[in-house]
Amino acid sequence: MTLASFKDLIVKAGDALALAAFWGRILGAESTDLGDASARLDADGFRVWVDPVPEPHPGQTRVHLDLRLPTADPAALVAAGAQVRREPGGDIGWWVLADPEGSEFCAFPPREGYASGVDELVTASADPVPLAHWWAGILGGTVREQPYGADLTGAAGFPWRTWCFDRVADPRVAPNRWHWDVTLTGGATVAAVQAAGARLIRPRGGDLHWSVFKDPDGNDFCVFEAPEASPPTTA
């Protein structure tokens, strides 16, 4: 039984309003200043909350977006404020860029049958295949094993083509700068998510209208028991 539906992306930032402005340009999203140094991005079919945190960027990106470019190079992304970290070469057919706070993301050239914009969400893991199956157990969908790890498609509420779980060797050095929220569905409970193997970090209560968990790989995510209109804070 599917326990939840994918809800939103959450981004932690030193300067949330500036980073929201950058990603708003990149995603073609409307940016709303929420009046508390945080912002909300409303894009076509998905939402991103950008929240301020005092911690500096750890220099590691465990969760990122892959974009499909409408043109043959990322000049528009660079003009919007992205920095090129690596150009295509050898068996790598895409650009690695970084946003103004140092979170890396990838940009792929146009490809027939693929729409421009966000193509996939990528989560790095030392053991990606079991992690993909675990999330399929929470959100549903189909896991396809790949040489680099695994892809999850058809997850409930997931707004992009696929969720890629990418194998990496480097250990986690800090909490993720990007994470995601889910909403419980079909009468599922927070206890069921915990029983599935998630670790409860902070339960819902008081001013906190959601529960904060870590998945079996240590990725933060928040669980909402009902759709919420208010923005989530950092996990």
Give residue 131's pLDDT. Answer: 98
The answer to the question of residue 232 being in a domain is no
Give pTM, 2 decimals: 0.93
The answer to the question of residue 171 being in a domain is yes
Per run of 10 residues, the mean pLDDT along the chain (length 235 residues) is 95 98 97 98 97 95 97 96 95 95 97 96 98 98 97 98 96 94 95 97 92 97 74 48
The answer to the question of residue 231 being in a domain is no
The answer to the question of residue 191 being in a domain is yes
Give residue 91's pLDDT. Answer: 84
The answer to the question of residue 15 being in a domain is yes
The answer to the question of residue 234 being in a domain is no
The answer to the question of residue 46 being in a domain is yes
* Number of domains forming the structure of the chain: 1
Give residue 1's pLDDT. Answer: 77
What range defines the domain where residue 209 resides?
4-224
Give residue 226's pLDDT. Answer: 66
User: In degrees, to the nearest 5, what angle opens at C-alpha 181 toward C-alphas 175 and 185?
Assistant: 145
The answer to the question of residue 216 being in a domain is yes
Q: What are phi and psi of 157, to 5 degrees?
A: 75, -5
Q: What are phi and psi of 22, to 5 degrees?
A: -60, -55
Tell me the β-bridge partners of 52.
13
Tell me the β-bridge partners of 163.
121, 152
Here the CATH number for the domain that contains residue 181 is 3.10.180.10
Give residue 227's pLDDT. Answer: 57
DSSP string of the chain? ---EEEEEEEEEESSHHHHHHHHHHHHT-EEEE-SSS-EEEE-SS-EEEEEE-SSPP-S--SEEEEEE-SSSS-HHHHHHT-EEEE--BTTB-SEEEE-TTS-EEEEE---TT--SEEEEEEEEESSHHHHHHHHHHHH--EEEEETTEEEEES-TT--SSEEEEEE--SPP-S--SEEEEEEE-TT--HHHHHHTTPEEEE-SBTTB-SEEEE-TT--EEEEESS--SSPP---
